Structure 1
Amino acid sequence: MWQIFAATLGYLTTHVYAHGGALNYTVGDTWYAGYDPFGPSNQDTAPYIVQRKWITNEPIFETTNASLACNFPGNPASASIPITAGSNITAIYYSWVHTVGPMIAWMTSCNGACSTFDTTNATNASWFKIGEKGLQGGNILEGNWFQKTFSRWDGTPSLWTETIPESLKPGEYLIRHEIISLHSANRPQFYPECAHLRVEGDGERYPDEKHLVKIPGVWSMDQPEINIDVYDPDTAMKTEYKIPGPPVWSG
């Protein structure tokens, strides 16, 4: 598996500059190809791509942008990742450099086939968190954010692992990995990517209303955790950061 990473990394680092995103996924020892915004045009029809199309590694700035769901343009993928509820999935990033802000993994049911599921209409999808990682120690400006330890400077990929809740009922789902970078004062940067999952297992549960949100809709510039100046002295020295949005649904 790492041989594949190494071969791919040389190409990707040529193109990924200040920003980045999830480009591949692993479940156990199996590797799944995401969409490369700098890759060949035949990705659009390649039968092995599991990630929805995104064409730029630039951030989304607007909390009301319809592309906040699955990036732009968010076209459906050709394939899906088969995964048993209770298993781990790892999103693989290359050349991620930002260090301040939360990272959140979301899922939504496609209510049928993900291949025909439109995320640009926010009313279609009700998202729930399956994991979130934020400030792990120290202060907001210079502390140990997971995003900071996730960033790699030695040429190896950055790995983000979350668990599919074991009690989740089978079906087709989107998994959405979102990094929110807060290094620009009062100008949050959103980096989302979505992949198709085919969840299998014996689960029978689905999150209740208190766990479900719309995207866009969950974030607002009225939220002090989103509209934040991490360089303001009063903010910078705080040692707690509450990730906004609903609680994580663990099943």
Structure 2
Amino acid sequence: MAVIVPLLLAFLAILPGPTATVLVLAHGGLANYTVGETWYRGYDPNTPAEEQIGQPWMVQRTWDTIDPVFSVTDKHIACNIPGAPPPSYIPIQAGEKITAVYWYWLHPVGPMSVWLAACGDKDCSEVDVNQAGWFKIWEAGLLEGPNLAEGVWYQKKFQNWDGEPGLWPVTIPVNLRPGLYMIRHEILSIHVENKPQFYPECAHLNVTGAGTDFPPDEYLMKFPGAYSADDPYININIYVPKDRDKYIIPGGPIWEGLSDFPRV
């Protein structure tokens, strides 16, 4: 059963700058997914859990709050809180796009990334998300200057203010070997100085296709473990110095898995 259900998320104002003394947050989360013309409903923390958990249409791991994860060592940085697994999978062929659907995302600053983890010979519901080997397949950060505070980030471009959802399309690597996978979307907001906000959500995929590739060990990360609290691009004050115009997205390189397949 594939449906789309809007998730209208509560929001306030965005913290205006480094001198603000009151922390005012605009949180959110991933509401739905689409592959081709088919929409798959995500978990809605505003709907009673008993109406969602265990339902045959559920493809997303549970997340009970629109609040962020603040620590890189928090176990919930993998798939949010509590991250309980769904019973179903989104079917997708390697090389197809999966689009994450967000309603009213307000934060403007910070990188976005998408990760996969193979479930191996297990059902993904049996996999410990903190022990899985996650590999990054997509990322986007600062798009143009003049600096980190005033530049345009993909996160800003991703916002949509006309009542329609923000759409985040990502292609599953075309030569990825078939199997059961978890997909992890993460938004890292860094608009508050030295207080990063992580917004992760995970869903389950059944990937088909003729691919044979899988990333080598150097691409595989664990959550927690992929990020360091000492990373200057995680604990960062984007407002000082004013001329700062370079940003390195945390988590290592992207694995594209294109090998002997043509780039599309």
The structure 1 residue matched to 2:198, chosen from 190, 194, 210, is 190
Per the alignment, residue 126 of structure 1 pairs with 133
- Which sections of structure 2, spanning at least 5 residues, go unmatched? 12-25, 258-264
1:212–1:246 CA contact under 8 A, matched in 2:
no
| Bigger helix fraction | 1
How far is 1:118 from its partner? 2.2
Do residues 218 (structure 1) and 226 (structure 2) align? yes
How far is 1:95 from its partner? 1.1
Identical-residue share of aligned pairs (%): 52
Encode CA deviations 1:93-130: one digit per residue, 9 max, x unaligned: 011100000000000001221122221xx2x2011000
The 5 A counterparts of 1:1-251 are 8-9=5-6, 12-13=7-8, 15-17=9-11, 18-41=26-49, 42-111=51-120, 112-119=122-129, 122=130, 124-138=131-145, 139-232=147-240, 234=241, 236-251=242-257
Q: Distance in 1 between matches of 2:112 and 2:254?
A: 12
SS of the residue corresponding to residue 105 of structure 1 reads strand
SS of the residue corresponding to residue 136 of structure 1 reads strand
Matched AA of 2:251: G
Q: Distance in 2 between matches of 1:65 and 1:192?
A: 12
2:89–2:206 CA contact under 8 A, matched in 1:
yes
Matched AA of 1:44: I
User: Structure 1 segments of 4 or more deviating over 3 A?
Assistant: none
1:106–1:129 CA contact under 8 A, matched in 2:
yes
- Which sections of structure 1, spanning at least 5 residues, go unmatched? none
How many residue pairs are counted as aligned between the two chains?
238
Encode CA deviations 1:227-249: one digit per residue, 9 max, x unaligned: 100121x1x43222111222100
2:238–2:244 CA contact under 8 A, matched in 1:
no
Encode CA deviations 1:34-90: one digit per residue, 9 max, x unaligned: 101111321012110110011000000011000110001111112100000011000
1:76–1:117 CA contact under 8 A, matched in 2:
no
2:103–2:166 CA contact under 8 A, matched in 1:
yes
SS of the residue corresponding to residue 155 of structure 2 reads helix
Q: Distance in 2 between matches of 1:76 and 1:16?
A: 25
